[in-house]
Structure 1
């Protein structure tokens, strides 16, 4: 049975518990002294995570097979003080565009509806809700021509993916995911405007999330998609095939550590006045596969023959920043708000490889 924190700060409802980011976020909340109530479609899918994290504190699960069902979260929100909504379809390819968009958008609304309804009957019970959005809701993918120059901030919105998906259907590929995140976040802000809930609402918009997961995957194919590029380089795959851009053309090798994302979510629920109504882009580094190879060949000399050398030091700035790029992503707002810098890229890479070493 899970143990209870002696300094319990209240209960957080964390949706989509068995996801990559959610697992690390649950661990962060538990370590910070919160109880966590995680939602999953099937209890069996979270057993391994539950076993791995329960010793940190009070971790429980609630089955919600269909997050789009009216009242789906009515019972789950009872007794919680904070909500972190992370449940959403995630993939680099979808074959049911409208189903994906509907699940992401309606799932977010169902959480908000249940929280708002409970808050009306139990004033002051819920203080904050953090919504996990994405850089996909910020950056329009068609703005990737060589002539395009722009630094994205929280003021930007993806203005094209929803239309593209309507026109192309499943042929839109990764834009289905981008459209779903955009539609869901817009729905969240529309709900806030229309209903004026008494709890704070903020969104987290990370770029590609990488870093050590909460538990070791059973096999390489179970490694989270956005953490696979680091694994691929360490495992000796060609650098030309280890970039997210090689999987989906036009994507940028922009990364943030999953532990930074988890920390930002915790900060969001802890600071309702500061975070209410705010979006926070989490973008730490521009780091193509060459940077990963350079770090690993230095840190693990015994693996040098396995890791492709490529062109050391080429294709990225020495500080893994955006100075030499025409398109940049500004992730400084969250640093200014929290007062904490991002985890260094070298640490992210090394920690990830060490954690995944049994699979390399």
Structure 2
């Protein structure tokens, strides 16, 4: 017997797919939304096939999340909503459509949630550390009380000249602000919670079949594992969290809506670097040792994968740690991710 039916928007996304799997493994039924059902084919026929065949996992089309009423049918009968559909890239060129999709998509699903019925208990938003990271300089520790108020301003000033990473940050900040503004103004009967991950690593639910299918988020690990020179600065690093831990954190408010109502939770477990990734991979995959660029072993990172708080802005993950306990270690996250690439090299 299923505990409840949960709606996950953008279910074919990297984090959302793992979240769907985690919910299903914990006895929930999942209704996922995608732009086209064909984009979830591998989930339905491969990775989550058993759940699809049993009817626990279903997929519906929502071609445009910004259209009023887009989720009206999808929300019917659900007891929880995980809103995870939002543009993700560090190479955006124009902030206008990206911010529109992030903000309007959030408003649309929340407005639909109002008509979902009394069985709906909670809505959880996948936001980002990008909505929290401000311009503070070290020594400083970011908490859930912090907000990124600079990225949207930068987009307004620079327009199409805005760097992609800043556009992404602005979209996450604007989308989450719309989320909390709705709660403040509408005062819905359902609870509302946000999860704010740092840079997310970990194995994708569906291993990529080609190099071009390697996701942008885990591409740094692929780059090093494939033998290419170490990438330079990686947006979001040094802080990382495993995708499977984000899934756990997305489930917690669904299972404990009242205890998490109105809260934000930073998902962060470790501080890594390209050199750390190379060292981990060279040790874990001895047959690939000659291929993986050695670099300068041990340089530029802590053996415990922590930052120097005097020179690097830190993040406080204590609120989330209190909910889910231990985090998947950085080393395991890197190795498990690389295992999904083995057939590509």
Q: Please, what TM-score do these two structures have when normalized by structure 2?
A: 0.95
Instruction: State yes or no: 1:354 paired with 2:339.
Output: yes
Aligned with 1:38: secondary structure? strand
Match of 1:36 among 5, 12, 30: 30
Distance in 2, matches of 1:231 and 1:351, equals 12
1:243·1:253 contact (CA, 8 Å) conserved in 2? no
RMSD between aligned residues: 1.4
Match of 2:69 among 68, 71, 79: 71
1:354 positional shift: 1.2
Q: CA deviation at 1:234?
A: 1.0
Q: What per-residue deviation string (whole Å, max 9, x for no partner) do you get for residues 291-331 of structure 1?
A: 11111112222221111111211111111012354211122
User: 2:283 maps to which residue?
Assistant: 298
- Once the two structures are TM-superposed, the CA of residue 63 in structure 1 deviates from its matched residue by 0.7
Deviation at 1:332, TM superposition (A): 2.2
- Give the whole-Å Cα distance in 1 for the aligned partners of 2:293 and 2:173: 37
Q: Take 2:49 and 2:189, find their aligned partners in 1: how far apart are those partners? A: 32
- 2:184 pairs with 189, 193, 213, which one? 193
Residue deviations 1:101-154, cap 9 Å, x none? 011101011111111133xxx32x1011110000110013x55xxx64311111
| TM-score normalised by structure 1 residue count | 0.91
Check whether the contact 2:246–2:267 (CA below 8 A) recurs between aligned residues. yes
- Residue matched to 2:123: 129
Displacement after TM superposition at 1:229 (Å): 1.0
- Displacement of 1:243 after TM fit? 4.3
Query: What is the distance in 1 between the residues matched to 2:122 and 2:110?
Result: 11
Matches within 5 A, 1:96-115: 96-115=94-113
Indicate the residue corresponding to 2:85 in structure 1: 87
State whether structure 2 residue 12 is matched by structure 1 residue 21: no
Match of 1:328 among 299, 302, 314: 314
The 2-side partners of 1:273 and 1:155 are apart by: 20
What's the secondary structure of 2:220's corresponding residue? helix
Deviation digits for residues 19-75 of structure 1 (CA, Å, limit 9, x no counterpart): 111111111111111111000111111111221213135111111111111111111
Question: What is the alpha-carbon distance in structure 2 between the residues aligned to residue 331 and residue 359 of structure 1?
Answer: 35
The number of equivalent residue pairs is: 339
Matched, 1:230 2:221: yes
- Report what 2:326 is aligned to: 341
187, 199, 208: which one pairs with 1:208? 199
Which blocks of at least 5 consecutive residues in structure 2 are unaligned?
none
Cα deviation, 1:66-111, whole Å, max 9, x if unaligned, reads: 1111111111110111100000011112223111101110101111
Q: How does 1:253-292 map to 2 (within 5 A)?
A: 253-292=238-277
Cα offset, 1:177, TM superposition:
0.9
Aligned to 1:244: 234
1:54 counterpart residue number: 49
Report what 2:143 is aligned to: 153
Q: Distance in 2 between matches of 1:282 and 1:15?
A: 20
Q: Equivalent residue for 1:4? A: none
Check conservation: 1:212, 1:356, Cα contact below 8 A: no
1:233, 1:242 within 8 Å by CA — same for their partners in 2? no
Q: CA deviation at 1:242?
A: 5.5
SS for the counterpart of 2:341 is: helix
3-state SS of 1:252 partner:
coil
Q: CA deviation at 1:252?
A: 3.0
Unmatched runs of 5 consecutive residues or more in structure 1: 1-6, 246-250
